[in-house]
Amino acid sequence: MTFQNVESHMVPMPNRNIDTDQIIPARFLKTISKEGLGDNLFCDWRYDAQGKPKPDFILNQPIAKGAQVLLAGDNFGCGSSREHAPWALTQFGFRAVISTSFADIFKANSLKNGLLPLLVPADVHAELFAAVAKSEHAKVKIDLPNQTLTTPGGRQVTFPVDSFAKHCLLEGVDEIGYSMQREAEIAAFEAKRVGSINTLA
Amino acid sequence: MPRTIIEKLWDSHVVAQQPGAPALLYIDLHLVHEVTSPQAFQGLRERKLKVRRPDLTVATLDHSIPTTDRSLPIVDQIAARQVAQLGTNCAEFGIRLYGLDSDRQGIVHVIGPELGLTQPGMTVVCGDSHTATHGAFGALAFGIGTSEIEHVLATQCLLQRPSKTFEVKVPGTLRPGVSAKDIILALIAKIGIGGGTESVFEYTGTAIRALSVEERMTVCNMSIEAGARAGLVAPDDATFQYLQGRPYAPKGAAWDTAVARWKQLPTDEGARYDRTVTIDADRLEPMITFGTNPGMGVPIGSPVPEPSKISDPAERDALVKALQYMGLEGGKPLLGRPVNVVFIGSCTNSRISDLRTAAGVLKGRKVNPNVRVLVVPGSQEVKRQAIAEGLPEIFRAAGAEWREPGCSMCIAMNGDYVPTGEYSVSTSNRNFEGRQGKGARTFLASPLTAAASAITGVVTDIRTLL
């Protein structure tokens, strides 16, 4: 899944430590496919006991329509390793999540699904929340090749991204295919391994 | 140059390293369960790939399965389909499955060690964030997503960058009533749920050395709750004793060779860590969480923090929201608060030693009539051992439910859940909103605290019952 540059308004979700159980509750993990998760993104925050949208939740407000960027509080995506979290986020329409920090497994899972975890320092983070508070239409531009984020105020800041992950996102590199090219090295490594188990024994 | 065990494990598993690219890291053991694997097997099918090393792969059922009578069909049709799919996938790809009919079925992080599959010096992965449990043996064990599961199935490798090294020193001696669970809850409360991000913990110190291997698993298990990729304990004689004679442990001369190799693993004298933190075991109290993430924990007698006393606005907001969800007020301790459910189980605390501990408290006592108590063994093996020791009779006589092995009420996707608004004291690992059921309110604690609270019907300091 390749990543195209994004220009979008933002959905603000300032809560710190949003865990993957909130992003997609465990009861939706009984599926054997990747489909149909977007409708249940943030399910327990989004719908009441009767399944009706809660009007005060941000994803039920006009700002969420067409938004490709989620502006989230610190340490986004902590908890469970479920890849259903980035599947649900991308199915809803998000292409990037901006935060000051991300949980490791969520970050890795996102990068494999064309969802950019975009790391910003605290001052930029605060500036973005202030801009959204001022206008729902405040837009950011994300340029992955140049690793720049342009704030609604026109400030251009660079963001870090793992060089290999960037390459994969831009070129749509198939990581399994990439690793399979190393077959000779894998086989050579295996030939030297000692003390292996055999689960089939 | 002196190296930490974390660096030794990394170095010994790098297959290839291209400049600028992540290392290709070899995986010695891949554990699979029904929830995070179906899409990975489907990916293999679409690519027309085989599982490269089925002999290093093993599967079990734990998350979606009922903990009631196993002779009955699974009522939840979606869960039943997922369970059936794992069977299909394992048959098609030649993977050993410890399924519902197996006398070795159990929670993936319980059966790996008890079968002797998890061994020192290994890399272990599973599509489950609590894979760090296996770090208790001196293995580099971490949770992965479904794309990575597919990657390991196809190549037996993962593309990885090295983590930072983080020493968690626990000097001193635990006092009566204080346990392994309290060490890890205290660590998470101290450094926060993002405190270990990008790191691998090595737990060191006299209090860690004094723990049994099962207790070390409890500590390592919750490393992810502090944000760490993994957590581990260097192997020692206790590790070797635990492993010797287990079904997949090396035998005969291979055993001696293995032990000699494993003895090379501990961190070298003078090796440096990127970061170190100390938890003083001498001063540790039984811990309990009051909020909606595992870092929101306090010593059991201490008051819940008051939002008005917190200066950081984001932190204050988070606390206000958490207390609102939990129906709690700041400034008061949890001691004495009524409890509706007690759950003793999960990959954190469902091993035989946990059940013995709980039974030790419940023996000859009665569960408070207002409390529903579930005791869920971690595996069929744990269940067998418990039966041999007469533990189910103790639990039943006290008024607790004795169930079949599985994840159960830790993740509440199998029909076992805490009703909306009710309070549970749980030996599991997560107190996130809705984790134990929609609207459920969770206090995480040790098996001792859980059992004590089951008897009194309120949050209780075990030391008052000792």
Beta strands at B287-289 and B199-204: parallel, antiparallel or unpaired:
unpaired
- Does an H or E element contain B154, and which? helix B146-155
Q: Answer for the pair B297, B189: CB distance below 8 angstroms, yes or no.
A: yes
What DSSP state is assigned to residue A52? P
Probe site for chain B from A37, A80, A112, A185 (most B CB atoms < 10 A)? A80
Angle at A116 between CA A110 and CA A118, to 5 degrees: 120
Nearest C-alpha in A relative to B420? A49
> What secondary structure does DSSP assign to B246-303, as a single string?
-TTS--THHHHHHHHHHTT-SPPTT---SEEEE--GGG---EEE-SSSTT-EEETTSB
pTM of the model as a whole: 0.97
H-type helices in B294-351, by residue range?
313-326
B81·A32 Cβ contact <8 A = yes
What DSSP state is assigned to residue B442? E
A199·B56 Cβ contact <8 A = yes
Question: Can you tell me whether residue A84 is helix, strand or coil?
Answer: helix
Give the integer Cα–Cα distance in Å for B29 and B125: 7
Residue A2: predicted pLDDT: 82
**Residues on chain B touching A16 (C-beta within 8 angstroms):** 314-315, 318
Residue B466: predicted pLDDT: 84
Counting Cα atoms < 13 Å in the Cβ hemisphere of A153 gives 12
Give the integer Cα–Cα distance in Å for B300 and B289: 9
B2 touches chain A (CB under 8 A): no
**B75 phi and psi angles, rounded to 5 deg:** -70, -40
A32·B58 Cβ contact <8 A = no
Residue B402 pairs with which residues in a beta bridge? B375
What DSSP state is assigned to residue A90? H
**Residues on chain B touching A37 (C-beta within 8 angstroms):** none
Give the integer Cα–Cα distance in Å for B363 and B394: 6
What DSSP state is assigned to residue B105? -
**Residues on chain B touching A105 (C-beta within 8 angstroms):** 129, 143-145, 224, 229
Residue A6 has pLDDT above 90, yes or no: yes
Residue B423 pairs with which residues in a beta bridge? B441
Residue A1 has pLDDT above 90, yes or no: no
Residue B140: predicted pLDDT: 98
Q: How confident is the model at residue A88 (pLDDT cuts 50, 70, 90)?
A: very high
- Locate B461 and state its tokens: 């300091």
Give the integer Cα–Cα distance in Å for A38 and A60: 13
Residue whose C-alpha is closest to residue A117's, from A63, A160, A61, A59: A160
CA dihedral (B354, B175, B399, B292) in degrees, to 10, reads -80
> Cβ–Cβ contacts within 10 Å for residue B210, how many?
14
Please tell me the total number of residues recorded for chain A in this structure.
201
Residue B398: predicted pLDDT: 98
**Residues on chain A touching B129 (C-beta within 8 angstroms):** 79-81, 105
A30·B64 Cβ contact <8 A = yes
Tens digits of pLDDT across chain B (466 residues): 999 999 999 999 999 998 989 999 999 999 999 999 999 999 999 999 999 999 999 999 999 999 999 989 999 999 999 999 999 999 999 999 999 999 999 999 999 999 999 999 999 999 999 999 999 999 999 999 999 999 999 999 999 999 999 999 999 999 999 999 999 999 999 999 999 999 999 999 999 999 999 999 999 999 999 999 999 999 999 999 999 999 999 999 999 999 999 999 999 999 999 999 999 999 999 999 999 999 999 999 999 999 999 999 989 999 999 999 999 999 999 999 999 999 999 999 999 999 999 999 999 999 999 999 999 999 999 999 999 999 999 999 999 999 999 999 999 999 999 999 999 999 999 999 999 999 999 999 999 999 999 999 999 999 999 8
- Locate A162 and state its tokens: 């793992």
- Chain A nearest-CA distance from B172, in A, is 30
Give the integer Cα–Cα distance in Å for B321 and B299: 21
**Residues on chain B touching A89 (C-beta within 8 angstroms):** none
**Residues on chain A touching B321 (C-beta within 8 angstroms):** 15
CA dihedral (A119, B194, A2, A182) in degrees, to 10, reads 120
What is the C-alpha R_g of chain B?
21
Q: Nearest Cβ partner of A105 from B121, B145, B432?
A: B145
Q: Answer for the pair B183, B284: CB distance below 8 angstroms, yes or no.
A: yes
The predicted model gives A111-122 an average pLDDT of 97
B54 touches chain A (CB under 8 A): yes
- Locate B154 and state its tokens: 């196809």
Residue A108: predicted pLDDT: 97
**Residues on chain B touching A75 (C-beta within 8 angstroms):** 193-194, 197, 227
Q: Answer for the pair B353, B344: CB distance below 8 angstroms, yes or no.
A: no
B261 touches chain A (CB under 8 A): yes
B293·A17 Cβ contact <8 A = yes
Residue B338: predicted pLDDT: 98
Residue whose C-alpha is closest to residue B287's, from B459, B63, B30: B459
**Residues on chain B touching A197 (C-beta within 8 angstroms):** 28-29, 55-56, 117, 119, 248
A164·B56 Cβ contact <8 A = no
> Cβ–Cβ contacts within 10 Å for residue B264, how many?
12
Give the integer Cα–Cα distance in Å for B254 and A131: 65
Above 0.90 for ipTM, yes or no? yes
Please tell me the total number of residues recorded for chain B in this structure.
466
Residue B215: predicted pLDDT: 98
- Chain A nearest-CA distance from B332, in A, is 24
Residue B97 pairs with which residues in a beta bridge? B59
B82 touches chain A (CB under 8 A): yes
